[in-house]
């Protein structure tokens, strides 16, 4: 066989802009290089399809036809291990991964009923061009008995142009006496391109004494403002008392507690250049402050007794709530796919109620035919988190259709909403309809999320997964907090299994939730701090350089997310207060809301 032509990309190929999104991607179609990859891939797939079978085999490990088509443009399954027979030719072939692909997917399953143990780890040869690759499965465990898909993230740093060789090593413990250990190495070559402005995603060490007073500039500014305000009010009061002593006290009391001065300059807060968000704050500022001020202040004894009253609908029997929300299948019309994962699907659809004047456009969450009954039950259980709640910044499920229990349908009002994390990623790529988020817009979004979580806590409910992926946003930057149904499937890179067969948002969890699985309102506050960091970085991955198994030790040693480049000190001070190691030292949501609203008003004064 003649030696293959050189596949080193030219400068033009490396820097060719993508057709959509404006990113530079690998140009695989140009010249003999693209033809060579396609020809070699076709041979590998042909050998994988025609390789002999062994009925005494133990596992299957392959790339699905969808993944093969995505990477190689071929519609066929590429088997690395088929019924226990290892395809050495496929393992020797190095599959290129274009620059615009961050995740690669594999499907596997055990073919016997006895448990088969595995160990997996990833190696790569260029730490400057690529951050640490991550598996969304644990490093060791049991091979699933049903076809299951796992992913490997290959995040480029954006600092240099390079071809990074990545090896995925999987060791399978078989039941063959002659050879009880099978070692499999899958090779990939990730193309990484240099970006002019590489995103910053680092960590910093926060000393405990600094964290307790980390609001810094915000406290100084607020203290100076309060001192000046008190001085002005005192002088005005003395002068006014000399004129009308009998009427002054009541007038001043009314003005101070019910006038616009409580929220600062409300005219400035509602007349920004973009005009977004003003109406929301105008209609909710005073009512919101009044509402959360009415929440009784609990003593330590009352707090101890109230801990048992916090509810988690995910651990409750959903039968009664499903009966209240049940709808007939014939009333639902499923439309186009909006988002999809391994087993989950999100559709746009129509709900036709004969008693309503018009049909209602809805979002439909469901599962595919590949989902197990356990996954279908989990989607329903998590979709009922906000059921029955009514608040303008929450999005509870509208109805549930269980005519086919294996394919439940969860209906939500559409309202022109899209996923907040997807929206932020579009802003970072410049593809979200030309929208450029300002600092004031970010604070406005945070205020709405905070309002929704305050109402949730007033109902004695914990969210336990506060993140941008579980929020929705419309074109007017109106935000609603949603439940966690399908989040693990639609955003697998945000969840990790630490050897306990439970996918958790490890890099969003507080220290006590990560180590002891203790969930309190303070854990939601911690996660809200990470959400603030997501907003200011346009949905970057937090702690991308930290292995999920090292997160507990990392946080215990005092390390936290670093301040983003464009993040004001006041906003980062609020984040740091959310990440205090002791739950009692963290800021409460009412306190965070007050700080965010004051900061929003202060930003409006300079627009």
Question: What does the pLDDT read at residue 3?
Answer: 44
Question: What does the pLDDT read at residue 220?
Answer: 56
Could you tell me if residue 248 is inside a domain? no
Between CA 457 and CA 464 the distance in angstroms is 11
Could you tell me if residue 43 is inside a domain? yes
Residues 407 and 503 in one domain: no
CB 511 within 8 A of CB 555: yes
In tens, the pLDDT along 273-322 reads 333 443 333 333 323 333 333 333 344 444 444 444 666 665 566 677 78
CB 386 within 8 A of CB 395: yes
Q: Which of 326, 26, 341 is nearest to 164 (CA)?
A: 26
Place of tokens 């959310």: 578
C-alpha 55, offset from chain centre: 42
Could you tell me if residue 405 is inside a domain? yes
Between CA 601 and CA 595 the distance in angstroms is 10
Residues tagged active-site: 465
Question: What does the pLDDT read at residue 306?
Answer: 45
Residues 511 and 522 in one domain: yes
Question: What does the pLDDT read at residue 134?
Answer: 86
C-alpha 77, offset from chain centre: 30
Residues 453 and 370 in one domain: no
Q: Residues 313, 317, 323, CA angle at the centre, nearest 5°?
A: 100
User: Which DSSP category does 316 fall into?
Assistant: S
Between CA 358 and CA 481 the distance in angstroms is 26
Residues 555 and 585 in one domain: yes
Helix (H, G, I), strand (E, B) or coil at 54: coil
Of 368, 394, 414, which residue constitutes the final position of a domain?
Answer: 414
Q: What is the CATH number of the domain that holds 99?
A: 2.60.40.2170
Against a cut of 0.85, is the pTM above it?
no
From residue 27, alpha-carbon distances to 97, 98, 101, 161, 490 in Å are: 11, 8, 13, 14, 28
Q: What is the CATH number of the domain that holds 292?
A: 1.10.510.10
Of 358, 387, 414, which residue constitutes the final position of a domain?
Answer: 414
Residues 49 and 111 in one domain: yes
Between 589-604 and 569-578, two packed helices, what is the crossing angle to 10 degrees? Answer: 170
Could you tell me if residue 3 is inside a domain? no
From residue 341, alpha-carbon distances to 21, 271, 361, 399, 487 in Å are: 21, 41, 22, 22, 9
Q: Give the strand pairing for 181-192 and 85-86.
A: unpaired
In tens, the pLDDT along 312-364 reads 665 566 677 788 889 888 899 999 998 888 888 999 999 988 777 788 899 99
More confident of the two residues 272 and 139: 139
pLDDT over 80 at 105, yes or no: yes
Question: Average pLDDT of 576-589?
Answer: 94
Range with the largest mean pLDDT of 2-11, 211-220, 569-578: 569-578
Structure tokens at 135: 């598996």
From residue 83, alpha-carbon distances to 30, 90, 158 in Å are: 37, 15, 40
Residues 404 and 426 in one domain: no
Structure tokens at 428: 């970072």
Question: What does the pLDDT read at residue 175?
Answer: 60
Residue 511 — pLDDT band, cuts 50, 70, 90? very high
Between CA 118 and CA 169 the distance in angstroms is 10
Residue 375 — pLDDT band, cuts 50, 70, 90? confident
Residues 335 and 297 in one domain: no
Residue 525 — pLDDT band, cuts 50, 70, 90? very high
pLDDT over 70 at 28, yes or no: no
Residues 294 and 342 in one domain: no
Residue 26 — pLDDT band, cuts 50, 70, 90? very low
Between 521-537 and 569-578, two packed helices, what is the crossing angle to 10 degrees? Answer: 150
Residues 42 and 140 in one domain: yes
pLDDT over 70 at 385, yes or no: yes
pLDDT over 80 at 390, yes or no: yes
Residues 363 and 430 in one domain: no
Full domain range(s) for residue 475? 267-309+418-607
Q: How many domains does the chain have?
A: 3
Looking at 356-402, list the stretches that DSSP marks H as alpha helix, in order from N- to C-terminal side. 373-383
Of 414, 449, 465, which residue constitutes the final position of a domain?
Answer: 414
DSSP state string for 414-474: -TT-EEHHHHHHHHHHT-STT----HHHHHHHHHHHHHHHHHHHHTTB--S--SGGGEEE-
Q: What is the CATH number of the domain that holds 369?
A: 3.30.200.20
Instruction: Report which secondary-structure segment, H or E, holds 211.
Output: helix 208-212
Could you tell me if residue 297 is inside a domain? yes
Between CA 134 and CA 16 the distance in angstroms is 28
In tens, the pLDDT along 432-471 reads 555 788 999 999 999 999 999 999 999 999 999 999 999 9
Residues 24 and 149 in one domain: yes
Residue 17 — pLDDT band, cuts 50, 70, 90? very low
Q: Give the strand pairing for 181-192 and 95-97.
A: parallel
Between CA 129 and CA 191 the distance in angstroms is 9
Could you tell me if residue 234 is inside a domain? no
Q: Which of 193, 270, 261 is nearest to 228 (CA)?
A: 261
Structure tokens at 196: 């002019």
In tens, the pLDDT along 537-558 reads 999 999 998 999 999 999 999 9
Residues 295 and 441 in one domain: yes
Question: What does the pLDDT read at residue 529?
Answer: 96
Place of tokens 């994962």: 341
Question: What does the pLDDT read at residue 149?
Answer: 87
Structure tokens at 87: 């395809």
Mean pLDDT (the chain) is 76
From residue 433, alpha-carbon distances to 46, 423, 561 in Å are: 43, 10, 30
Structure tokens at 153: 């993230």
Place of tokens 């964290």: 211
pLDDT over 90 at 412, yes or no: yes
In tens, the pLDDT along 143-191 reads 888 888 888 988 888 888 999 999 999 988 866 555 566 889 999 999 9
Between CA 589 and CA 121 the distance in angstroms is 40
Residues whose CB is less than 8 angstroms from the CB of residue 66 and which lie 6 or more positions away in sequence, other chains included: none
Q: Within 10 Å of residue 49's Cβ, how many Cβ atoms?
A: 13
Between CA 375 and CA 199 the distance in angstroms is 35
Between 521-537 and 420-429, two packed helices, what is the crossing angle to 10 degrees? Answer: 20
User: Which DSSP category does 156 fall into?
Assistant: B
Question: Average pLDDT of 232-248?
Answer: 58
| Partners of residue 367 on adjacent β-strands | 344
On the 0-12 / 13-18 / 19+ scale of CB atoms within 10 A, 329 is: exposed
Could you tell me if residue 251 is inside a domain? no
Question: Average pLDDT of 421-426?
Answer: 92
Could you tell me if residue 40 is inside a domain? yes
Helix (H, G, I), strand (E, B) or coil at 157: coil
Question: What does the pLDDT read at residue 411?
Answer: 94
């Amino acid at each position: 066989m003649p030696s293959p032509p050189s596949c080193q990309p030219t400068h033009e190929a490396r820097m060719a802009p993508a057709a959509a999104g404006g990113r530079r991607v690998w140009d695989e179609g140009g010249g003999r290089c693209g033809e060579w990859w396609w020809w070699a891939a076709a041979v590998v797939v042909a050998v994988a399809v025609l390789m002999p079978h062994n009925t005494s085999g133990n596992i299957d490990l392959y790339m699905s036809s969808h993944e093969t088509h995505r990477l190689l443009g071929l519609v066929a399954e590429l088997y690395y291990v088929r019924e226990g027979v290892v395809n050495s030719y496929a393992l020797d072939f190095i599959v290129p991964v274009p620059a615009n692909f961050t995740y690669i997917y594999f499907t596997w399953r055990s073919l016997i009923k006895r448990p088969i143990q595995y160990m997996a780890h990833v190696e790569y040869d260029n730490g400057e061009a690529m951050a640490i690759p991550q598996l969304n499965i644990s490093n060791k465990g049991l091979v699933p008995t049903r076809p299951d898909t796992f992913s490997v993230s290959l995040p480029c740093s954006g600092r240099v142009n390079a071809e990074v060789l990545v090896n995925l090593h999987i060791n399978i413990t078989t039941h063959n006496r002659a050879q009880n250990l099978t070692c499999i190495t899958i090779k990939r070559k990730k193309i990484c391109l240099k970006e002019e402005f590489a995103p910053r995603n680092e960590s910093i060490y926060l000393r405990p004494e600094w964290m307790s007073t980390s609001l810094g500039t915000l406290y100084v500014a607020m203290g100076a403002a309060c001192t000046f305000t008190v001085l002005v009010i005192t002088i005005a009061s003395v002068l006014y008392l000399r004129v009308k002593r009998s009427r002054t006290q009541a007038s001043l009391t009314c003005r101070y507690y019910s006038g616009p001065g409580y929220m600062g300059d409300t005219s400035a807060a509602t007349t920004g250049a973009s005009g977004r968000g003003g109406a929301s704050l105008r209609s909710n500022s005073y009512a919101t402050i009044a509402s959360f001020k009415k929440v009784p202040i609990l003593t330590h004894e009352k707090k101890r007794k109230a801990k048992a009253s916090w509810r988690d609908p995910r651990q409750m029997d959903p039968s009664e709530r499903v009966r209240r929300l049940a709808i007939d299948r014939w009333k639902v019309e499923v439309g186009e796919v909006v988002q999809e994962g391994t087993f989950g699907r999100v559709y746009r659809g129509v709900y036709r109620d004969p008693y309503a004047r018009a049909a209602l456009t809805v979002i439909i969450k469901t599962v595919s035919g590949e989902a197990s009954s356990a996954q279908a039950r989990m989607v329903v259980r998590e979709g009922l988190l906000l059921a029955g709640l009514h608040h303008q910044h929450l999005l509870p499920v509208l109805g549930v259709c269980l005519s086919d229990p294996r394919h439940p349908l969860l209906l939500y009002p559409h309202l022109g909403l899209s996923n907040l994390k997807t929206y932020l990623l579009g802003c970072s790529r410049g593809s979200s309809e030309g929208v450029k988020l300002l600092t004031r817009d970010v604070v406005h979004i945070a205020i709405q999320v905070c309002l929704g979580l305050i109402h949730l806590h007033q109902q004695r409910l914990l969210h336990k997964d506060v993140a941008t992926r579980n929020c929705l946003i419309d074109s007017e930057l109106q935000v609603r907090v949603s439940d966690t149904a399908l989040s693990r499937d639609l955003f697998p890179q945000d969840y990790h299994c630490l050897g306990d067969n439970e996918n958790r948002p490890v890099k969003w969890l507080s220290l006590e939730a990560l180590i002891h699985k203790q969930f309190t309102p303070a854990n939601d506050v911690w996660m809200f701090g990470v959400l603030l960091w997501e907003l200011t970085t346009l949905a970057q991955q937090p702690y991308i350089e930290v292995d999920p198994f090292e997160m507990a030790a990392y946080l215990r040693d005092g390390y936290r997310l670093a301040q983003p480049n464009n993040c004001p000190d006041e906003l980062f001070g609020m984040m740091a207060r959310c990440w205090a190691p002791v739950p009692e030292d963290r800021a409460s949501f009412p306190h965070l809301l007050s700080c965010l609203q004051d900061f929003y008003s202060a930003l409006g004064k300079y627009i």
